[in-house]
Amino acid sequence: MSMVVISDAVAEKLLQKHNVTQDEISACFENRLGKVLIDDRAFHRRNPPTLWFIAETTSRRLLKVVFQIRKGSSHIITAYEPNVDEMRIYEAQGTL
C-alpha cells in the first residue's frame, strides 16, 4: 500500500466539514475490498486523475475517499459519507 498523505488544510476541512479523521481514512485504505474508480466528470478532471472508492472504517462507518496518486503516494482530496448515487455507482462498478 502506498503512503497516505493528508495536508494540514485538508485534514482540518475533513474534521470540520465532514467529521472525518485521518485514522478513519487510513482504515478505509486498509479495509477496501472493491475497485478504485476514476472520477472523469469534466469538473473533477485533474492530472493526475482523481480516484475514489468506498470502504468501511474500523467502526463500520462507510466513507467515500477521493485521492490522487502523486510520486507513489495517495494524496487525499476529500472523504465523506457517500450519498445514494455514489453508492449505486460504486456497487455497479466496484465491489462493496
Q: What string of pLDDT tens digits covers the 96 residues of the chain? A: 579 999 999 999 999 999 999 999 999 999 999 899 998 766 666 678 999 999 999 999 999 999 999 999 999 999 999 999 999 999 998 665
Element (H, E) at 5: strand 4-5
Q: What is the pLDDT of residues 38-49, one digit of tens each?
A: 987 666 666 789
- Domain chopping of the chain, boundaries: 4-93
Instruction: Output the pLDDT for position 96.
Output: 58
- For 81, the 3-state DSSP assignment is coil
